A and B are shown apart, each in its own frame.
Chain A
Amino acid sequence: MTDLAQSTLDGLFLGSSYALLALGFTLIFGVLRRVNLSFGPAIMFGCYAATWTHLNSGAGLLLLALVTIAGAVLAGAYVERLCFAPHRGGSAIAAMVASFALWMQFEELVSIALPRHIYDFPPLYAGASLSLGALSLRAESLVMLFAAIAVCAFLWWILYRTRFGVAVRAVIDQPQAAQLAGISVPRIFMLTFALASAIGGLAGFLTAASHEQVTPMLGMWFTLKGLLAMMLGGLGSLPGAVLGGLALGLLEAHSQWFFGPQTRDLIAYALLFVLLAARVPWMTTRSAS
């Protein structure tokens, strides 16, 4: 029983990082109707920018977090300009393939700057885990959970309480009418990319700090987890992204506990396959924000 509770708790913490990644993915997908494969690699680039800063200065954690976010936003803006701005209204496949090409660029770039396969990243909290009765929880996990909740609240405020949010939702809902209402769609694309990359950057920093290491493989990891969580939650739905992220985290934690660590990803992908093959309604019909 305690084990079940423990893995549920672990799953929620893990899932809150997936939820952040899925939120970033969903924002981009909802507004542009394009899959950005370079979303994860751009975040990985931000993590490496922070690692480089860490190696070359005595920067504190807060500064490293800001460097990660800034790096992810910069890389995200580069992806938007190169892959998505030229194909606006054009081929979705062309944009997606172009974003794959930039993925390779980011991996090469960080490998040239920092050639080892793994670098240490400073931990968020060096002390022992906290215990809650029989359950134990790591401080990073709590930070991750609170960050996810804070980002959700912040996003909700932006989307439902600001003029920018009205514009973003208008573009998601009916892009042509948004243009006719005087909303500059290219500008909203760019700002959405920046916002999504900043959220991804935060998730990236928290992930790197809780793994205490970075590798170029992080790019693929961020993209796969975010994409999977977004699809589980229903394409284009922001609340769905959060639920999808949490569901993925729980699924992974429980399957690890039931069947062992090797099966963790296997079961997640098998479930995605089954859900896609069964065409469950919430995954095939796009619900709006």
Chain B
Amino acid sequence: MSTQSAKPVKTKVKLSTPEGRKKMKDAFSSPWASAAAIVIAMLWTIPTFGLLVSSFRPEKDINATGWWMFFVQPNFTLENYESALFQGTAVTPPLSQYFFNSFAITLPAAIFPLTLAVFAAYALAWFDFKGKNFIFFSIFALQVIPLQMSLVPLLQLFAKGLMIGEDVIIPPLGITGTYIPIWIAHTIFALPLAIFLMHNFLSQIPRELIEAARVDGAGWFTLFRQIVFPLSVPAIASFAIFQFLWVWNDLLVGLTFGGGVKDIAPLTVRLAEMVGTRGSNWEVLTAGAFISMIVPLIVFFALQRYFVRGLLAGSVKG
């Protein structure tokens, strides 16, 4: 093909060819649309950008002029980050401590529910038993229950155990003030959606594959370990990112199940507290906000594709 054949086809756009698709793309992207999109994107970014710029300005500058003045008097400092990360007050640890807590809460709170969900989804998708559909539908329906509805009794359960009349069903566990109640709470609240999504995925594994392995004499456990689990890794990864961000960004569970103990509180809890007590100390708040946002932003920009996939699959999370 020579370059001459690249004449515009005016009468009909053939979509089956790559050129045709390109034609249509061009027809769509009017300069006005592009301009509008860019303006909206800027509008959406300016608030975050302003805070980011401020976090690098000296305290004196932040309180004296608006952040946009940074471009007139560019005084750059890392002091805000340094003091936010490493200098606590007389009664509260510095943010680096809370940063560690956020990790320590988020990792297990993503791994536990995913493991249990894959297990349950495997059972619901491939075991044959009475009441299977009932259990699956019930778990699906549990997504209706807002977190707030289970909050108080679950907290009491952790603190006092479970009694029916005089009989102790579950003794007090003595785990208040550690990460464990937060892990368990996140696990429980994540299960309905995780099981539902994993079930959707696992039930798509070809029946022949499962049956062939069964005929070869693989038990249910070997089957899971050698075939089902390796096949479900992409789905697990997708939901893991979602759950990771959800737990990292959570405030309510950390606030209530952490029992107000500072040593185990995640970043969000500390930041919310700082807004209350040091509401106009912008040099601490700006840096603090970015310290809490850096991990989600890295995860988001590095794994955006998987994040979007998880979101599209599970857009009913609450």
Q: Do A and B bind each other?
A: no
Partner-B contacts on A (CB < 8 A): none
Partner-A contacts on B (CB < 8 A): none
